[in-house]
Amino acid sequence: MSLVENIVSWYSTHMNYASITALMTIESSFIPFPSEVVIPPAAFVAAEADSALCVTANYPLDVALIVLFGTLGAMLGAIINYALSVWLGRPIIYKFADSRIGHLCLLSKEKVQKAETYFNDYGKVSTFIGRLVPGIRQLISIPAGLSRMHFGQFLLYTFLGAFIWNAILALLGYLAHGQKDVIEQYSHVLGIIIVVVVAAAILYLIVRKFLKRHA
């Protein structure tokens, strides 16, 4: 079994708000871990009548709290990336991304550069939009830290993006109650919705930038 499979196996018997927060913190940091194996299964369990039978939890899981604690974890992971970027600086971040450990974390100089270019092109709001873009969402906090983005704005945009992402995943998990293949059936629809939203946001930013240049 892979490391992710082992963690998923452990999570299935230790599903509670603490484990949700911890795994989402990992997912949102530079360590690769899919949020799709954290939020939807928890929401599915919350929809079960016997969700109180979670091995380590003495209380039923609640979908709203799953989204809340998942978002808290995502923010903690993003803060870790932001703080490390501010503290270490661009040269060390890029050197780490191209190191053996960085590659084990699925990082590379090209990926960090892509995230930084994305941030430079779309500004501070990219920390919100980037949370909805696969391949960017885990890394968008790095250029925010490198540019020393205002921490309050960083927290606000990160919260909004993470909350929307987790709410969508929780909805899929909740709808899958009694119908285990729902997530697989509608995952492509989720992808299309996110792409449309992101494309609309990017188009808005491009148009606004164009109008400012010609004002």
Residue type, 192: I
Instruction: Please give the model's pTM, rounded to 2 decimal places.
Output: 0.73
Residue predicted with more confidence, 207 or 157: 157
The ranges assigned to domains in the chain are 3-213
Position 48 pLDDT exceeds 50: yes
Residue among 144, 134, 91, 125 at smallest CA distance from 201 = 125
User: What is the pLDDT at residue 75?
Assistant: 92
| Range in 65-74, 86-95, 185-194 with the lowest mean pLDDT | 185-194
Highest mean pLDDT out of 33-42, 124-133, 134-143: 33-42
CA distance 46 to 186: 19
What is the number of residues in the chain?
A: 215
Q: Are 17 and 63 in contact (CB under 8 A)?
A: no
| Residue 13: exposure state from Cβ atoms within 10 A (0-12, 13-18, ≥19) | exposed
When computed from its CA atoms, the radius of gyration of the chain, rounded to whole angstroms, is: 18
Complete DSSP assignment for 125-183: THHHHGGGSTTTTTTTHHHHHHTT--HHHHHHHHHHHHHHHHHHHHHHHHHTTT-TTHH
φ, ψ for residue 180, nearest 5 deg: -60, -20
Identify the residue with better confidence: 123 or 84: 84
pLDDT in tens, 66-91: 999 999 999 999 999 899 888 887 77
